[in-house]
Homo-oligomer: A and B are copies of this chain.
Amino acid sequence: MKPIALHERIRAEIEAAILGGQLRPGDRIPKETELMAEYGCARMTVNKALSALAGNGMLERRKRAGSFVAQPRTQSMVLDVPDLAAAIAARGQSYRWDLTSRKISAPARAEAEALGVRAKVLSVTGVHFSEGLPLAFEERMINLALVPDIAEADLSQTPPGSWLIAHVPWTEAENRISATAAPVAVARALGIARGAPCLMLERRTWRGTDTVTRVRQHFVADRYELVARFGPGGN
């Protein structure tokens, strides 16, 4: 038996009461001084337990009023959007990246607005393979003003996403996930029928207010899925 920290025990017991239905949304929880007496510990210990529950969104704490069981949460989950090379390798499968085009240019007007930059841009397309089969077609634009070093990188060996993760910190990102019918160019690159269903992932990454990169990946439907998990306490 490993001894469990007291604050963790308090936290777990209250959580269990909420999940088991003994405490219902809106119910009031004993005040810190009461719990402190009940468990025979210092107030900070109780506070640590309650703060953790509040941080998880299971409690709402209001000064002068007390602590209350929160309303059922919105379903927000943690989605791990992997670096493809690493993710495939982690599954024990072989990985290969085929660079199919690489171009440096000033972005066209439409692209400039989409990227939110007027600086020069590195445009790259290529295909990710897993176990020798095409998995995803990638089109990417990279802001050279923010990431000048990537112009020197050998992107035929390292997929641009892997290079960027290793070299460029970012502050914000947005992913859009949708399903589409494969356009001709994508279908040809992936060796599937035109119009076949694809999972499309569009990601845009910022550093501060500047766009770092913008990428669109078309996945062969049968060969890929995204998994998102949520558990209280982030386990």
User: Which of A's residues lie within 8 Å of B, judged by CB?
Assistant: 18-21, 44, 55, 57, 72-83, 165-181, 196-200, 203, 207-208, 219, 221, 224-232, 234
Q: Which residues of B have CB within 8 Å of A19?
A: 169-171, 207-208
Q: How far is the CA of A166 from the CA of B83 in the complex (A)?
A: 36
Q: Which residues of B have CB within 8 Å of A208?
A: 19
- Are A232 and B171 in touch, CB under 8 angstroms? yes
Q: How far is the CA of A180 from the CA of B179 in the complex (A)?
A: 8
- Are B172 and A230 in touch, CB under 8 angstroms? yes
- Are A221 and B181 in touch, CB under 8 angstroms? yes
Residue on B with the closest CB to A178? B225
Q: Which residues of B have CB within 8 Å of A226?
A: 176-178
CB distance from A83 to the nearest CB of B (A): 7
Residue on B with the closest CB to A166? B72
- Are B165 and A221 in touch, CB under 8 angstroms? no
